Amino acid sequence: MAADSVATTTTPPRPVVRPKRKKALVDYLVTFRWIPAIFVALPLSALIYFCIYIGGMLSSMKPEERRRREHEENVHKVVRRLKQRDPKKDGLVCTARKPWVVVGMRNVDYKRARRFEVDLSAFHNILEIDTERMVARVEPLVSMGQITKVTCPMNLSLAVAPEFDDLTVGGLINSYGISGSSHIYGLFSDTVVSMEVVLADGRVVRATKDNEHSDLFYAMPWSQGTIGFLVAAEIKLIRIKEYMRLTYTPVRGTLKEIAQAYADSFAARADADAADDSKKKNHQRQQVPDFVEGMVYSPSEGVMMTGVYATAEEAKKKGNRINRVGWWFKPWFYQYAQTALQRGEFVEYIPTREYYHRHTRSLYWEAKLIIPFADQFWFRFLLGWLMPPKITLLKITQGEAIRNYYHDNHVIQDVLVPLHKVGEVLEFGHRELEVYPVWLCPHRLFKAPVKAMVQPEAGFEQHPRQGDSSYAQMYTDVGFYYAPGAVLRGEEFDGAEAVRKLEQWLIANHGFQAQYAVSELSEKDFWRMFDPSHYDHCRRKYGAAGTFMSNYYKSKKGRKTDKEVRDAEAEAAAAIVEPDAAE
């Protein structure tokens, strides 16, 4: 379908019709949430961001040698702490990170039961930027905002730099992470060159793709810190330029047509790939953008964005438009991008670091629900510089009632689906969730030499589709975040049931749910969605079973019963150390 084409007559799938819902006290608390958000969360956030800024500056002023020495000392502290654990008395091991500090939306209910915490809070330094090997050696609590501040002025970037400032390296590797460059480099964990891991018995090992711990290397992503503690990682750097030349392309049509226009915006169609026309292929290869993002605003409208790095010289040429999207008074990025639907296709240049963090100020589009008028010009001008409120403070000030309200009446889910299924998941989302805008971000899912928790569809390479190659299948992260249409219309909505249906859809369609999101999966279904073979093998081999919590135990919603805690701890007795474990 051509971009900006006229809507077809096909009607979108109808959302489920639901009865009206009676308002309760919590509805009013949610409606007036902007009061504590403005008067408490925003000023405190500014203070915290200022402290983080000073902390980052002090850390970068430390000589490299000192940072390295401190790192060694802190690793020893972790080892000592792990060795203090008495398996007969103490609970299972997890990090001491407070549940409200993390960005993710899970309740982190395992932190309300018996556990043995290990403090990793000292690991927040960038240890080295090696411009010869093109790797950054960083500690796990280094945040995306912190690292882009250092690398962008050097015209360097992590190959995959997730958009949101507060995300940490440890969370992005052990869970999942993505950015608009993932259609080239894969998920965040695919850009890792080496991992330094403290194992259950206190051994510190370095795992790479091809050393003696390569199995550990492939087991860490998606493991949620249930195999060992990551204490440092080397991550691939790429050379970048000062600006992103961004093209906004409006698309109109059915959800399937929008999905096709999105795929066409960055990948050659498979039939063109198959044609033995090397000239054509070369041409197409040259056109692969550095960054890709799609935004679906309604069941019939979307805007596709493709970016290519550009020099300052090019950006400043006469006639080119520069847009400093990071300035506090600027319109929120997702709303600005939507104007392409009226303006038609346009191109502009955005300073690269501001582009990377374009969704931070508006928390993607979630800030609109917290402070409904924060997107107005007067608010942006007066208080926009304080945005966004820190997720930590929002979590602290919400209380149990609002937290439960969000679970029932709100959706925050990222689902990873094969590119050829995007149209279908958009239709499913419209029918069951009706959440807009929907975020689309493509990513390669590489074939691994082991059965990793997340892997492409079996045999995809024999019948390559659009975006696929012999070594990776093209997937897409489809982000559903916002209040569902039913909730906005005051109708009943069962959030848990909607998530359950979404999860079943994913299992049936070889999709995966991002693990920061609330999950309703049973244990059996969890391991139908994620492949347990290699994960289980490594948990036994590296002594994690019975010491670290298991992945499902950590992700399961709801307070743990005593029995669950005891059963999980008893896993130690059942854990069989395989013969190849000893070193």
- Beta strand 472-482 with 512-513 is unpaired
Residue type, 270: A
Q: Which is nearer to ligand FAD, 255 or 369 (CB)?
A: 369
Q: Which is nearer to ligand FAD, 175 or 466 (CB)?
A: 175
Q: Which is nearer to ligand FAD, 115 or 252 (CB)?
A: 115
Closest CB 199 distance from ligand FAD, rounded Å: 11
Closest CB 198 distance from ligand FAD, rounded Å: 8
Rounded to an integer, what distance in angstroms lies between the CA atom of residue 181 and that of residue 158? Answer: 10
Closest CB 458 distance from ligand FAD, rounded Å: 26
Q: Which is nearer to ligand FAD, 254 or 409 (CB)?
A: 409
Please state the φ and ψ torsions of residue 441, each to the nearest 5 degrees: -145, 115
- For 143, which DSSP code? B
Q: Which is nearer to ligand FAD, 296 or 315 (CB)?
A: 296
Rounded to an integer, what distance in angstroms lies between the CA atom of residue 576 and that of residue 501? Answer: 36
* Residue number of the CB atom closest to ligand FAD: 171
Enclosing H/E stretch for 567: helix 562-574
Q: Which is nearer to ligand FAD, 120 or 156 (CB)?
A: 120
Q: Which is nearer to ligand FAD, 238 or 412 (CB)?
A: 412
Residue type, 294: G
Closest CB 224 distance from ligand FAD, rounded Å: 4
Q: Which is nearer to ligand FAD, 177 or 546 (CB)?
A: 177
Rounded to an integer, what distance in angstroms lies between the CA atom of residue 561 and that of residue 113? Answer: 8
Judged by the rule CB under 6 A, the positions of this chain that interact with ligand FAD are: 95, 97, 102-105, 120, 140, 162-164, 167-168, 170-172, 174-178, 224-225, 229-230, 363, 412, 516
End-to-end CA, the chain: 58
Neighbour-count burial for 482-502, b at 16+ CB within 10 Å, e otherwise: bbbbbbeeebebebeebbbbb
Neighbours of 470 (CB within 10 A): 9
Q: Which is nearer to ligand FAD, 196 or 503 (CB)?
A: 196
Q: Which is nearer to ligand FAD, 162 or 423 (CB)?
A: 162
3-state secondary structure of 501: helix
Closest CB 166 distance from ligand FAD, rounded Å: 7
Q: Which is nearer to ligand FAD, 364 or 505 (CB)?
A: 364
Closest CB 234 distance from ligand FAD, rounded Å: 14
Closest CB 241 distance from ligand FAD, rounded Å: 22
Please list the residues that pair with 480 across neighbouring strands. Answer: 413, 438
Q: Which is nearer to ligand FAD, 185 or 257 (CB)?
A: 185
Closest CB 286 distance from ligand FAD, rounded Å: 28
Residue type, 51: C
Closest CB 464 distance from ligand FAD, rounded Å: 26
Q: What is the DSSP string of 253-311?
A: S-HHHHHHHHHHTTS--HHHHHS--HHHHHHHHHT--SEEEEEEEETTEEEEEEEEEE-
Residue 490's region, left for phi above 0, alpha for psi from -120 to 50, else beta, is left
Burial class for 463, CB neighbours closer than 10 Å (0-12, 13-18, 19+)? exposed
Place of tokens 């955005």: 350
* Per-residue CA distances from 136 to 142, 176, 418, 451 (Å): 11, 19, 30, 28
Closest CB 226 distance from ligand FAD, rounded Å: 8
Contacts of 149 (CB under 8 A, 6+ apart): 56, 353
Positive or negative, the Cα torsion across 416, 417, 418, 419? negative
Rounded to an integer, what distance in angstroms lies between the CA atom of residue 504 and that of residue 525? Answer: 8
- For 389, which DSSP code? P
Q: Which is nearer to ligand FAD, 120 or 255 (CB)?
A: 120
Rounded to an integer, what distance in angstroms lies between the CA atom of residue 129 and that of residue 146? Answer: 13
Rounded to an integer, what distance in angstroms lies between the CA atom of residue 501 and that of residue 510? Answer: 14
Closest CB 481 distance from ligand FAD, rounded Å: 7
Burial class for 503, CB neighbours closer than 10 Å (0-12, 13-18, 19+)? buried
Closest CB 440 distance from ligand FAD, rounded Å: 13
Closest CB 22 distance from ligand FAD, rounded Å: 29
Closest CB 266 distance from ligand FAD, rounded Å: 18
Q: Which is nearer to ligand FAD, 169 or 268 (CB)?
A: 169
